[in-house]
Amino acid sequence: MAAWAGCAVRREREIDSTNRAARRWAAEGAPHGAVVVAARQTEGRGRRGRSWESAAGLGLWLSVVIRPDIDAARFPLLSFSAALAAADAVERASGVAPRVKWPNDLLIEGRKIAGILLEKEGDAAIVGIGINVRHRAEDFPPELRDTAGSLRMFAKEPVSLDALERHLLAEIERRIDSGDFFSEYAARCATIGAQVRVVEMNGEFSGVAEGVGADGALLVRDEVGALRRVLAGDVSIREARA
Ligand code: BTN
């Protein structure tokens, strides 16, 4: 059982976005570990200005207010802890072990089953996590059907949303209390060691992902042998490591 993660919970049937609600609550003084969870989001938000499909009862849509004991410059690293916590929680609740695609997407057999949206509100970090749980292929909009997945497609038994939420909060607490943002990241990461294509603001290139720096940057050896740091960009896996 978690001690601080989930110490205060707002449970909504429908909301615009749990991240937005958590930000509003954080601005009003929500405690460290406060959680907003919704059965449905009408304006679920993803990274890089994208939207996030959040149909009623099909997934876990949740945001946690974290008031970490770290310098604000290191806040972005919380998204790595959150991805690893989500991967552990998925594995505990479903028996299926997801991989992490840099920086923080969760994949099972190459399909994205979960994503993380980290935002800042004053001195709080808002960690938003969406995990697709009960979708059948036809529950996704056509444009996501080739790339998105849900636990239902891979787990042997139905996955309980309550159990998944409990495991997630316990794992978030464990990882954040440990202060180690990256422990086991390389082992879980599908990107490290793979041939990748990187699309950045001012161009694109291919290479082999060699690791992740202390600041969370993906380190990619490009085709002329230079080691390039990727902090923001779309990285697709072209060829997984053998
Ligand atoms: C991504 O991979 O683009 C991030 C997706 C994050 C989705 C979650 S669902 C709960 C929380 N509320 C939101 O509006 N977004 C995050």
Greatest alpha-carbon pair distance for the chain in Å reads 53
CB contact burial 124-154 (16+ within 10 A = b; e otherwise) = bbbbbbbbbbbbeeebbeeebeeebbbbbbb
The predicted structure's pLDDT at residue 242:
59
Return the residue whose CA atom lies nearest to atom 7 of ligand 1: 130
The predicted structure's pLDDT at residue 239:
77
Question: Residue 233: pLDDT band by 50, 70, 90 thresholds?
Answer: confident
Residue with tokens 């479903």: 94
Residue list, ligand 1 pocket, CB within 6 Å = 17-19, 41, 44-47, 50, 52, 54, 61-63, 105, 115-117, 128-130
Pocket test for ligand 1, best of 117, 129, 131, 150 (most atoms within 8 A of CB): 117
Atom of ligand 1 nearest to the CA of 47: 3
In the chain, % of residues over pLDDT 70 = 99
Pocket test for ligand 1, best of 12, 19, 25 (most atoms within 8 A of CB): 19
Distance 127 CA to ligand 1 centre (A): 9
Q: Is 123 exposed, middle or buried (0-12, 13-18, 19+ CB in 10 A)?
A: exposed
Distance 44 CA to ligand 1 centre (A): 6
Q: What is the DSSP letter of 180?
A: -
Residue 241 has pLDDT above 70, yes or no: no
Between CA 179 and CA 69 the distance in angstroms is 9
In the chain, % of residues over pLDDT 90 = 93
Q: What is the mean pLDDT of residues 129-139?
A: 97
* Alpha-carbon Rg for the chain in angstroms: 17
- What residue type is 238 in one-letter code? R
Q: What is the mean pLDDT of residues 213-220?
A: 96
Return the residue whose CA atom lies nearest to atom 16 of ligand 1: 128
Q: Is 20 helix (H, G, I), strand (E, B) or coil?
A: helix
Q: Is 2 exposed, middle or buried (0-12, 13-18, 19+ CB in 10 A)?
A: middle
Distance 223 CA to ligand 1 centre (A): 34
Q: Is 138 helix (H, G, I), strand (E, B) or coil?
A: helix
Alpha helices by DSSP H, listed for the chain, are 18-27, 78-94, 161-178, 185-188
Evaluated on CA atoms 216, 175, 17, 237, the torsion sign reads positive
Strands (DSSP E) found in the chain: 9-15, 35-41, 59-66, 99-101, 105-108, 111-121, 124-132, 195-200, 203-212, 218-222, 227-230, 234-239
Distance 116 CA to ligand 1 centre (A): 6
Question: Residue 109: pLDDT band by 50, 70, 90 thresholds?
Answer: very high
Note the pLDDT tens digit of each residue in 66-95.
999 899 889 999 999 999 999 999 999 999
- What residue type is 3 in one-letter code? A
Q: What is the mean pLDDT of residues 93-110?
A: 97
Between CA 22 and CA 32 the distance in angstroms is 11
Atom of ligand 1 nearest to the CA of 62: 10
Distance 242 CA to ligand 1 centre (A): 31
Atom of ligand 1 nearest to the CA of 18: 12
Q: What is the mean pLDDT of residues 198-220?
A: 95
Residue with tokens 């998105």: 148
pTM: 0.96
Return the residue whose CA atom lies nearest to atom 3 of ligand 1: 46
Q: Are 203 and 228 in contact (CB under 8 A)?
A: no
Distance 45 CA to ligand 1 centre (A): 5
